[in-house]
Structure 1
Amino acid sequence: MSYYLAPSLERLRTQINQEWPQRDTTSDGWIGDTRHQAVKSDHNPDYSAGGVVRAIDVDKDGIEVDRLLAAVMSDDRTAYLIFERRIWTPGGGWRTYTGLNAHLSHIHISIKHTPSAAASERDWALTTTPAPSQVKEPEHVKRINRLDKTPTQKLPQREWKYLRLNDKGDVSVLRDPGLFDSDLQITAVDLPQEFTLQARAVLVEKVKDGSWAIVTRYPITEHRGTSGQTFISQSQKGTLAQGRRLRWQVWTDAPAASITNVSVRTDLFN
């Protein structure tokens, strides 16, 4: 039997491609694979409604994630979103998502099971950059100068030290708007033989009280090694909007650790 993507989601995908023409599409998708077909999923065609598919996945790399999330969250066609181990529903907000796929590389967007939600081809509101509070849960919008010193993902039970990379407590890179590709290189000293380093990039922007609020957290990368070894974090890619900064943060489970030779490489593609 034939199937098709809902016209409303076709329109959203077209707008996303026009807004971010150089984005990564590796994790894009819409039609359910074998795993999806074995369970109830909006990626599977609804043949009772003519074979319509009511969900798409959008790769997070090369787009402004918070702007896409805000546009979809503000639209009355949206049923739910899944991204970075969280699920969002209208009126319910964000909560923890416990499904097998954590949706770390892409955003899952599902529309409501109504003919109008599927058929409407009006534009989605991708043109307005939202305030951070429109996108993240309150606990995910933290000020840099009051930032929790522990990573937010689940970790083994051990103590973590937040390393000050410079006098501001982290490395900050200011750039014009555009696509970026960045990595952090550091040398760890005064460390025991067995230790772990963790690094994470965040996108931040200024809020009304003048402090910096996190709008996007990138995945934490973990490194194990010996004192004096140089580490290069996993490269992070994304989009910088006007007035935002890309920052790197580092933790270690070695309490006496210190850091030297900090450098950040950031390439920008306008």
Structure 2
Amino acid sequence: MDELWPNRKTGSDGTIGDAAHQGRDSDHNAWVRDGALGVVTAIDVTHDPNSGCDAERIVNSLVASRDARIKYIIWNRRIVSSTVSPWTWRPYNKKNPHTAHFHLSVSTDKALYDDDTAWSVAQN
């Protein structure tokens, strides 16, 4: 995201969960083990359409790609999963509506979370 939109706002970005995340099941927690290392399998990316980092466009392109690395995406009061009602948007009614950023969780399979293939992300 930073390479595509170097001037994008990052205020709602996140990877490693804060204290609030640590008390619940969250992919922002390093609960996946890779030997002695804990692995975080989620990222939040700030919605900043003025810079071109438009979450709606990005998540739509990710969903269309059906990338095997994707576990689920949360954006704008909706969630889409690769396994639960696969690739169909459903309502998301938890405390954070994810309107300032989108959340991307990836597979816990090492071959997938370590895959550094470029993501299919619409830039325009």
TM class, shorter-length: 0.7 to 0.9
Q: Distance in 2 between matches of 1:125 and 1:118?
A: 16
- Give the aligned partner of residue 70 of structure 1: 60
Residue 53 of structure 1 deviates from its aligned partner by 0.4
Q: Distance in 1 between matches of 2:75 and 2:87?
A: 15
- Give the aligned partner of residue 43 of structure 1: 28
Relative to total residues, which structure has the larger strand share, 1 or 2?
A: 1
Q: Deviations over 1:237-259 (max 9, x none)?
A: xxxx4xxxxxxxxxxxxxxxxxx
Structure having greater relative contact order (Cα 8 Å, sep ≥ 6): 2
Q: Distance in 2 between matches of 1:47 and 1:107?
A: 21
Work out whether residues 71 and 124 of structure 1, in 8 Å CA contact, stay in contact via their aligned partners in 2: no
1:1-270 equivalences under 5 Å are 16-46=1-31, 48-49=33-34, 50-61=37-48, 62=51, 63-73=53-63, 74=65, 75-90=67-82, 91-126=86-121, 128=122, 241=124
TM-score by length of 1: 0.40
Work out whether residues 15 and 44 of structure 2, in 8 Å CA contact, stay in contact via their aligned partners in 1: yes
Q: Distance in 1 between matches of 2:115 and 2:62?
A: 14
Residue 58 of structure 1 deviates from its aligned partner by 0.2
- Give the aligned partner of residue 139 of structure 1: none
Residue 71 of structure 1 deviates from its aligned partner by 3.5
TM-score by length of 2: 0.84
RMSD of equivalent CA atoms: 1.6
Q: Distance in 1 between matches of 2:55 and 2:32?
A: 32
Unaligned runs of 5+ in 1: 1-15, 130-240, 242-270
Higher alpha-carbon Rg: 1
Unaligned runs of 5+ in 2: none
